[in-house]
Chains A and B, each alone.
Chain A
Amino acid sequence: MIKYIIKRILYLIPIMLGVSAIIFILKTFTPGDPARVILGNDATQEQVDAKREELGLNDPVIIQYGNYIKGIVTRGDFGDSYRTGNPVLSEILPRLKTSGLITLGAVAIGAVIGVLLGIISALRKYTWVDSLVLVISMFFQSVPEFVVALVLIFIFAVNYHLLPSSGIETASGYILPMLCIGLSSVASYTRITRSSMLEVLSEDYIRTAKAKGQTDSNITKHHALRNAMIPVAQSIGTNLGNSIGGAMVLETVFGVPGVGKYIVDSITQRNYPSVLGGALIIAMVLTIINLLVDISFILIDPRLKSTIIAGGKKSKKVKETAAKAA
């Protein structure tokens, strides 16, 4: 198990190298001089040239890239923000906390509501309860997140002044973005839970449990749920990645100072160190989340212990999600 975890962490290296290389290449092809961006239009050509020399922008790209990687590996230094001059890492960490909180809260809201609805509709299959749950979850799935966001802002912030419409000065500022991202994933959790529950309930081992004289509620709790949660846990894993993406968009809608907003702002400002640092850190976080998700599968499903550890086929998927987020 330890060996497996170490192996998975080592996979981080090629992923980081890949992500940073892509952004470095993009940077060289984008017009505009970062030194000019930093110094503003009033600066003289001499000042700009001096700044370029200082930032190492005159070196070949490959050297710049090498220096950048060296900085990260030896000093944990992701460079300084062009705009503020502060270390990128120190700007990102507090924002990461904000984004992380919103994402986790959103996934928790979505998963808890979705799984509960899924279990209810599976246990009451083909009744009106089942149909009602289906309609509700389809509704939330088919409406785009930002529409839900605007509606929620309108109801809670504008109309009733219950929650702030933007910013996170108070804790309640987190609630709207969480609800927004969370509600949009309820439908998929409901559907996965329902179908997985129904499938599990028709398994032979459920009949074995009935033949033992076990009660229906214990069969649901002790035999069905854990088996039914395997595909749900898998989708929570994938959903975490998607939710981080969703959080980035909604941070702009709600004016939340998270990593997403930071990266978007930095792109418009041609603030490359911040873009690079943000992307790399997000990729790293996603990889670690994926690892945690995989470990949680092993805990849920003992059959995986032998297969997943031996295979290690997951790395490809991790790379894909990381690249997508970057």
Chain B
Amino acid sequence: MDENILDIEDLVVHYETEDEVVEAVNNIKLTMKKGEILGLVGETGAGKTTTALAIMGLLPERVGAIKKGKIKFEGENLLEKSKREMRAVRGKKISMIFQDPMTALNPVKTVGDQIAEVILLHDKCSKVEALKRAQDMLALVGIVPERYKDYPHQFSGGMKQRIVIAIALACEPDLLIADEPTTALDVTIQAQILDMMRALQKKNNTSTILITHDLGVVAEMCDHCAVMYAGEIVEYGTLEEIFDNPKHPYTKALYKSIPSLDKDVDRLHVIPGMVCDPSDLPSHCSFYDRCDEKCDACKLHDPLPYEIKDGHVVKCLKYQAREEE
């Protein structure tokens, strides 16, 4: 028995539209142990949401296609499961919180019904019981349970996100994927929501993938971190390794772009250049154009992920070459 809750092997996801093929996720490998909180960081367009949707089996029909790879959840490959089997996984074993709480709830159903829906789907119980549990969930995320009869438009953005979280946690999933859960919220609300998520995570020890573009959030919440760039995981390791000993030029650049109180900088560091177009990826290292540590060899090779230290993987020619010398 392996104790990994999630094992992603060589996952490749493309979006195939009429006029182009977007290579959104390219050969990623990712392992998660039970109870772990993994931060998935990267700029917009890096393929974070695509990875999450692939795990959920919710890639857009016809357009999104998994080209290769395995997604093993608790030892079973999710990609081999039937539609029906996947429905039993979603909401029960794996839950997802989406980025925008303003649109994630059905405007014409009461929030109580929307929480009860997932409970009724997966746990055999009566409607009354489901509603009762829905109210308990509301209380758990800090909303007065009596408000279960209210409609989404009667709640603020932060409250809506609490309700979305209540839906995601209602069936006590083994794996929670939170896709930028606080990006759409005010800064003060962000902190509250993160605090609450951390407390709830501790309570059930739910394995969590926290998707964000904010390294600060990762530092606060996560124990492992994967940095994504152009559909690839360019660096992976424990929180300490990634923060104290970042190796990939992209990770280092991300640090420089964090505003800091103790460092006295006039101007935030902005990573020069543009994210490369995922519908037209280069054959060499995809970070080449923006890298400030590049050498001639970088233009010839696409480096392989290399484990420089126990559990610390970097996908950069510099480190790969150094070890081989």
Which residues of A does B touch, CB under 8 Å?
203-205, 207-215, 222-223, 226-227, 300-303
Contacts and interface: CB of A to CB of B under 8 A. Distances in A.
A221 to B, nearest CB: 12
B118 A205 contact: no
B193 interface: no
A144 B109 CA distance: 41
A204 B98 contact: yes
Contact of A214 (B56, B87, B96, B168): B87
B87 A204 contact: no
A205 B107 contact: yes
Contacts of A204: 98, 100, 103-104
A209 B90 contact: no
Contacts of A207: 58, 98, 104
Given A210-B58, A226-B108, A205 B103 contact: yes
Top 3 nearest A-B pairs (CB, nearest first) are: A213-B91, A204-B103, A212-B91
A300 B108 contact: yes
Interface of B: 56, 58, 86-92, 95-96, 98, 100, 103-109, 114, 117-118, 121-122, 151, 153, 164, 167-168
Contact of A213 (B90, B105, B106, B107): B90
B90 A212 contact: yes
Nearest to A200: B106
A227 B106 contact: yes
A215 B90 contact: no
Contacts of B86: 213
A208 B160 CA distance: 13
A211 B92 CA distance: 9
A25 B33 CA distance: 85
Given A226-B108, A303-B151, A303-B153, A211 B95 contact: yes
A301 B151 CA distance: 10
A223 B168 CA distance: 18
B134 to A, nearest CB: 13
B107 A227 contact: yes
A215 B114 CA distance: 15
Given A213-B87, A214-B91, A227-B107, 7 more contacts: A208-B114, A208-B164, A208-B167, A213-B86, A213-B118, A214-B121, A303-B153
Contacts of A223: 106, 109
Q: Which of A205, A207, A226, A300 has the most CB of B within 10 A?
A: A205
A205 B90 contact: no
B103 A203 contact: yes
A213 B122 contact: yes
Contacts of A222: 109, 117
Contacts of B122: 213
B151 A302 contact: yes
B56 A211 contact: yes
Contacts of A214: 87, 91, 117, 121
Contacts of B98: 204, 207-208, 211
A211 B109 CA distance: 17
A213 B96 CA distance: 11
A208 B105 contact: yes
A209 B118 CA distance: 8
A289 B236 CA distance: 65
Contacts of A210: 58, 90
A301 B118 contact: no
Contacts of B106: 205, 208-209, 223, 227
A215 B90 CA distance: 11
A227 B106 CA distance: 8
Nearest to B56: A211
Q: Which of B92, B117, B168 has the most CB of A within 10 A?
A: B117
B74 to A, nearest CB: 16
8 contacts: A204-B104, A205-B104, A205-B105, A210-B58, A210-B90, A213-B89, A213-B90, A213-B122
Contacts of A208: 98, 104-106, 114, 164, 167
